[in-house]
Amino acid sequence: MPSTTRRARRIPLTALLGAGLLLLTACGGSPTQTSDKARPGYPVTLTTCGEKTKVQAPPKRAVSLDQGSTEILLSLGLADRMVGTGTWTDPVLKGLEKENAKVPRLADRYPSLEKVLDEEPDFVSASFLYTVGKGGVADRAKFTELGVPVYVSPTDCAGKDNAGDDDGTRTKTLTMDTVYGEIRDLARVFDVEKRGEKLIADLKSRAAKAARSVDASDTTLMYWFANSEAPYIAGCCGAPGVITRELGVKNAFADTREEWPQLNWETIADRDPDVLVIGDLTRRSQSAESARQKIRFLESNPATKNLTAVKKKRYVLLSGQALNPSIRTVDGIEQVAAALREFGLAK
């Protein structure tokens, strides 16, 4: 996106240690976990992004620090066990509005560590390593030091090199199986495994149905997340790659494994994609966040106004979350498939 992490300018950590830290230190961790240690099946230990996460009991005061993680927890019916969310790019997924309203939003971007700790969390989840790293909310080690388990989505580390200041490079091609693995992990942590399998089955069914409806193998797509000066364009192998492969179409920049390389418009014009898939974001951290801003730019800029997709107005508008590895990637598959049929590009 690029995610809500590096594809946006960094927001420094604004609070280090506060009242919440002192409270958790004094308690030696979450009292809710301590009282439930005898529960069958616990503790649950997961290896997440290279580190072990040990959960002593089903969390009762969870904080999700990225929208993708939040929407998985809400989809699993866990709003009553959440005490905070943060880092949003879009309105909440349709159908989850009532559940989301039950959970306090700690910040639209990264909440401070102090604000998170004030909620006395017994579990923290994130979609991106950056969120629980330097420049995000706080380093994972800080939460671990306080006895708060941290889970980071495998979509941001499995088969991915996050070295450097960009959005990382895919050393292995991402598939929806990794997203389904995240759902299973979180369902296991919260002891709602049947709900997790039901959610996965629904997502698989929707993706398969959308893929069956499209035959557009000669069609080339380009995915633009944000920024008009040096646009972030999807490489081959992240969430946009999942959409591309599921529908059997082509990515104009399938020759790069960078997650979201920043390119120039001249390079993009040389590729001249048939369809532009553009992020419709509600955040305000870079230029050309909303689809409206992007389209205005495309149709007025000399380097882009003669692109085939622009002249024929072949735009597909997706939420930022659909362009990140998440349950919304299935929404992206469905929406792109519907647009290809509408454009007359699907046989």
When mean pLDDT is compared across 20-24, 49-53, 213-217, 223-227, the lowest value belongs to: 20-24
Task: Judge whether 113 and 91 are in contact, CB under 8 Å.
Answer: no
pLDDT at 249 over 60: yes
pLDDT at 10 over 50: no
Task: Judge whether 218 and 252 are in contact, CB under 8 Å.
Answer: no
Mean residue pLDDT of the chain comes to 89
pTM: 0.88
C-alpha span between 54 and 64 (Å, rounded): 17
Query: What secondary structure does DSSP assign to 119-175, as a single string?
Result: T--SEEEES-GGGGSTTSS--HHHHHHTT--EEE-GGGTTTEE--SSSS-EESS---
Q: Is the peptide bond before 43 cis (omega within 30 degrees of 0)?
A: yes
C-alpha span between 25 and 145 (Å, rounded): 9
Q: What is the pLDDT of residue 16?
A: 35
Nearest-CA neighbor of 332 among 241, 259, 212, 252?
241
Task: Judge whether 251 and 222 are in contact, CB under 8 Å.
Answer: yes
Instruction: Identify the structural domains of the chain with CATH numbers, from first to last.
Output: 19-204 (3.40.50.1980), 214-342 (3.40.50.1980)
- The pair of three-digit structure tokens given for residue 232, joined into one six-digit string: 């972030």
- The pair of three-digit structure tokens given for residue 339, joined into one six-digit string: 């647009």
No. of helices (H) and no. of strands (E), the chain? 13, 13
In three state form, how does the secondary structure of 208-229 look? HHHHHCCCCCCCEEEEECCCCC
Q: What is the pLDDT of residue 165?
A: 77
C-alpha span between 343 and 38 (Å, rounded): 58
pLDDT in tens, 20-79: 443 344 344 444 444 445 688 999 999 989 999 999 999 999 999 999 999 999 999 999
C-alpha span between 223 and 246 (Å, rounded): 15
